[in-house]
Structure 1
């Protein structure tokens, strides 16, 4: 295996985006291997040899091949303890950061999974799919907003970057892409705006990756 970490990901995948952010914030140079979810590249037999569940992200690092974005981020943070610490050392802050991350990871993101949306279009049509998607994403953002009222400072949990922030920015992007109205979530919008000012978040944006669709590409 290569000594340089390898990340299999897709520019719009929110789970992949989280891991890009963790690697970049920790100043870890890595090889970017695109996997096109729209063409079903993740469903090929070839990619099944990389991840038997045929999902991204997959991170190859330290002789290991890791899957699932939140455990990957925790591994990076524990093995590269330089600042920023993405998993807070304080137990209360740690719990709050993980809570927000999981609201997004398990409570929102699965509803917008590419395979799920394709199945919905086939079964109930595009219009009903959009209604369904907006309902569940809005419900999830209500939970995030309520959490941020209690936890946020400059960022999701106080004034330090945590795993929660790595989850929030990709999820706000997805909400905007699916035309979900976020105007009733001022804490979400404020924290997201602060995060987008940071160089690592600018670099990792979906519209600045090697596999970004040309019509979306930004500098």
Structure 2
């Protein structure tokens, strides 16, 4: 497996977590988004959308982290990142989508660059923009974890929801979002800080990190 990603990308981060939780070996190839490497002809041949991550497996190239994580769950089912019951699986997917669909797209690099370039937003304004969507999403996740979590977002072991949550907490800290109102999410962060799969996936530990 070859994972094309960027060390600080939340989508690449969540993919690394899932690969590590599954115990899968993979080579990393950095795509520096700041230098525009995602728009190179070589990378666009892999991923015409010009986004990270992209996962190469033999003759297969997979893009979009939700699709990659679902493919991993289907093809490498142990250890599982989704619970057994169909209703529970839907709830975990909903928690993941809360981050992946409703929080992350509004504070990713493309969105923030548009705020700066098209609307002259300064750093304080972009932090406030990101914080607005992170706070509303985290408030909902805090409630969901209170109903379903027992050490992790769902139950007693990591799931897809945690693969999405931990990178978003990392991003929240970059944008100086106050997190005291989310003690259950902070407890999950503490659990991740002691878990080998999450430790190895952390942006600071990646070969292309600053």
* Same fold per superposition (TM over 0.5): yes
Structure 1 residue aligned with 2:4: 8
Match of 1:98 among 93, 98, 104: 93
Matched, 1:70 2:66: yes
**Cα displacement (A) at 1:62:** 4.2
State the TM-score, normalized to the length of structure 2.
0.95
State the TM-score, normalized to the length of structure 1.
0.91
**1:148-201: CA deviations, max 9, x gaps?**
111111111010211001111111000001100110011111112112211111
- Secondary structure of the residue aligned to 2:4 is strand
Q: How many pairs were matched up? A: 208
Structure 1 residue aligned with 2:180: 183
Segments ≥4 residues shifted beyond 4 Å: none
**1:47-83: CA deviations, max 9, x gaps?**
2111000001000114211011111111112111222
Higher RCO (CA < 8 A, seq sep 6+): 2
- Give distance in 1, aligned partners of 2:77 and 2:128: 43
Match of 1:116 among 68, 92, 111: 111
Instruction: Describe how 1:1-219 pairs up with structure 2 within 5 A.
Output: 5-83=1-79, 85-122=80-117, 123-126=119-122, 127-213=124-210
**Cα displacement (A) at 1:87:** 2.0
- Secondary structure of the residue aligned to 1:130 is helix
C-alpha RMSD over aligned residues: 1.2
- Give distance in 2, aligned partners of 1:70 and 1:153: 24
- Give distance in 1, aligned partners of 2:176 and 2:125: 14
- Give distance in 1, aligned partners of 2:44 and 2:172: 29
- Give distance in 2, aligned partners of 1:9 and 1:20: 9
> Structure 1: which 5+ residue stretches go unaligned?
214-219
